[in-house]
């Protein structure tokens, strides 16, 4: 339903909250969650990357000893992407030290 984080940014927050409550209730199979006791909302239009960094730029930086990590390198604003990026770069640094 939510393709990208910003797809519903400009929509009425109450509608978003109601849809999210329904999704949560469905996920947890508990209809009580469709009527939360309180809700809050905050827009994050620019907080999440949508495009990865070009591999050429990252490789040029690495050749100069500058290693870049984080979700912005992968272009996916998710913790697993940031973690994977950090682990892969760590492996490359360790590999260079062994060489
Ligand atoms: C509102 C919101 C909700 C999210 N929800 C989810 C979710 O449900 N699931 C999910 O998987 N991901 C979610 N994410 C994305 C997730 O938080 C990021 O993908 C992840 O935190 C990226 O990790 P990172 O290490 O690349 O960057 P960050 O976690 O942003 O870490 C960067 C760190 O560098 C520090 N820093 C910055 N500049 C400097 C400097 N000059 N000197 C020293 N330190 C500096 C910052 O203080 C920060 O601690 C969400 C993000 C937002 C904004």
pLDDT tens digits for 13-28?
999 999 999 999 999 9
Q: Is the pLDDT of residue 98 over 90?
A: no
Q: What is the dihedral of CA 63, 67, 68, 69, to 10 degrees?
A: 140
Q: Which domain holds residue 5?
A: 1-35
Contact 4, 51 (CB under 8 A): no
Q: Which two tokens stand for residue 90?
A: 């760590």
Q: Which two tokens stand for residue 42?
A: 């905050």
56 and 99 inside one domain: yes
54 and 78 inside one domain: yes
Atom from ligand 1 closest to the CA of residue 77: 19
Contact 76, 46 (CB under 8 A): no
**CB-based pocket (< 6 A), ligand 1:** 44, 47-48, 70-71, 77-79, 82
The residue whose CA is least distant from atom 28 of ligand 1 is 70
pLDDT at 5: 64
Give the number of domains in the chain.
2
61 and 27 inside one domain: no
How far is ligand 1, taken at its centre, from the CA of residue 94, in Å? Answer: 24
d(CA 53, CA 68): 10
DSSP at 54: P
């Amino acid at each position: 339903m939510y393709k990208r984080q910003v797809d519903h940014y400009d929509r009425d927050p109450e509608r978003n909250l109601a849809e999210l409550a329904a999704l949560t209730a469905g996920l947890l199979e508990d209809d009580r969650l469709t009527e939360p006791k309180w809700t809050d909302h905050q827009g994050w239009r620019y907080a999440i990357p949508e495009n990865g960094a070009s591999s050429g730029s990252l490789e040029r930086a690495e050749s100069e000893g500058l290693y870049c990590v984080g979700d912005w390198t992968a272009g996916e604003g998710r913790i697993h992407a940031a973690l994977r990026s950090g682990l892969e770069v760590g492996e490359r640094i360790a590999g260079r030290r062994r060489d």
